[in-house]
Amino acid sequence: MNDNSRAARVFRTVVGNRASGVYLAVCFALLAWVAVDAALVQHQDASFAGVWPLFLTAPTSLLGLLLLPETGTGGYFAVVVVSALVNSTVLGLFVRSAGRRPARPPRTAH
């Protein structure tokens, strides 16, 4: 097996189905919202916007924050992006395994 087919197989696992693609799109849309909120909106106190991507990518993001407690802004985005990719991969594997179930034999009337 060459590296191109292996990379294509990994890519299909991460975003090769509708569930994983929609999940990643929502995650990255929330990250864009957080970036715009942090850059353009002045808050007198903390904004709740940064919590939503963590909720969406939990439990992987919470584990990432436990392992890297002092990450800063760049670390926050890295934890959320890596967590979204890990969760998308797991979701893709679930979808792939659900599609491989053997067919049930037809029922016969008794």
* Predicted pLDDT of residue 102: 65
- Chain segment 52-102, per-residue pLDDT in tens: 999 999 999 989 888 887 778 888 889 999 999 999 989 888 888 877 666
Token reading at 67: 């392992």
Q: Domain-by-domain residue ranges, the chain? A: 9-99
* Predicted pLDDT of residue 73: 81
Whether pLDDT at 1 is above 60: no
* Predicted pLDDT of residue 17: 83
pTM over 0.95: no
* Predicted pLDDT of residue 5: 80
- Chain segment 13-22, per-residue pLDDT in tens: 777 788 889 9
